[in-house]
Amino acid sequence: MQLSARFGDALVFANYLHAQQLRKGGTIPYIAHLLSVAAIVLENGGDENEAIAALLHDAIEDQGGDATRQEIQRRFGAVVVEIVNGCTDADTTPKPPWQARKEAYLAHLCTAPSSVLLVSAADKLHNLRSLREDYALVGELLWQRFKTGKQGTLWYYRSLVEVYNARYPTPLTTELTRVFHELEAMVAASPSHQSTIDVEKI
């Protein structure tokens, strides 16, 4: 499959929307994540609409809500905007409470179409790879980046893995599951993690 000029337009638009945004806890431009997710989608058989949605999967949530939704539809059409909608867990500011928002997103994935599951799983795979690499570098300090800390973060990704395995049993899900289990094993083996467990028992 060859990508058309639409994909290039989407890349420019995504870079424009996220130009001032960095990856959580670092100095990596956010566009690096979007490019990685699009690459995972294409490597797992995604079409151009799915790849464009991968570039824009956080645009509604992080960069403008409904106004951005309307612009995505105008530029790239209904198929793309529906996939991006399906990957969006909030489109208002401030966002709803974290736990309720994530539980609603998990429930939504239980009935989401395959295009949404593909882009969503690609997003979560790249996030998990980043978490695994960063945990190897900074250990338990990693969880300070997240409002819900270690327990909430691991609960969410564990729940996502369960949903993807039930609804989207593909090589992508197999890889996502493997990376999550690697992260869990690293956390369990960490001396800092063991110390935290000991303190919690007191």
pLDDT per residue over 118-176, tens digit each? 999 999 999 999 999 999 999 999 999 998 999 999 999 999 999 999 999 999 999 99
Residue 197 in this model has a pLDDT that exceeds 70: no
Torsion of CA 91, 95, 100, 102, to 10 degrees: 60
The whole-number pLDDT of residue 93 equals 85
Q: pLDDT per residue over 99-121, tens digit each? A: 999 999 999 999 999 999 999 99
Q: What is the pLDDT of residue 202?
A: 34
One-letter amino acid at 107 equals A
Beta bridge partners of 22: 29
Number of neighbours of residue 71 by Cβ within 10 angstroms: 18
Alpha-carbon distance of 10 to 174, in angstroms, equals: 29
Q: What is the pLDDT of residues 34-82, one digit of tens each?
A: 999 999 999 999 999 999 999 999 999 999 999 999 999 999 999 999 9
> What letter does residue 139 receive in the DSSP assignment?
G
**Contact, 128 vs 179, CB < 8 A?**
yes
> Which of the residues are catalytic?
61-62
Delineate the domains of the chain, giving CATH numbers in brackets.
Answer: 5-201 (1.10.3210.10)
CA distance 194 to 197: 5
